[in-house]
Amino acid sequence: MRWKGSVAGLRPWWTTAGAGGRSVGAAAPAGCVPASGGPEGGGPGRLRPGRPRAGRPRPRPSARTLNLVPFSRKTEIVEPGRALPGRDHPLFSLPAHHAVLGTPLVPPFPDGVEVLYVGMGCFWGAERLFWQTAGVYTTSVGYLGGFTPNPTYEEVCSGRTGHAEVVLVGYDPARLPIEGLLKVFWEGHDPTQGMRQGNDVGTQYRSGLWWTTEPQRQAAEASRDAFAGRLRDAGYGDVTTEIARAGAYWPAEDYHQQYLHKVPNGYCGLGGTGVSCPIGVLRADG
Q: Phi and psi for 245 in degrees, rounded to 5?
A: -65, 140
Q: Name residue 71's amino acid.
A: F
> CA-to-CA distance for 247 and 5, rounded, in angstroms?
4
Catalytic residue among 32, 122, 157, 277: 122
CA distance 172 to 134: 9
Kindly list the distances between the CA atom of residue 40 and the CA atoms of 49, 118, 129, 158, 195, in Å, as whole numbers in the listed order: 7, 23, 19, 19, 20
157 is catalytic: no
Q: What is the 3-state secondary structure (H, E, C) of the chain?
A: CECCCCCCCCCCCCEECCHHHCEECCCCCCCCCCCCCCCCCCCCCCCCCCCCCCCCCCCCCCHHHHCCCCHHHCCCCCCHHHCCCCCCCCCCCCCCECCCCCCECCCCCCCCCEEEEEEECCHHHHHHHHHCCCCEEEEEEEEECCCCCCCCHHHHHCCCCCCEEEEEEEECCCCCCHHHHHHHHHHCCCCCCCCEECCEECHHHCEEEEECCHHHHHHHHHHHHHHHHHHHHCCCCCCCCEEEECCCEEECCHHHCCHHHHCCCCCCCCCCCCCCCCCCCECCCC
Question: What residues act catalytically?
Answer: 122
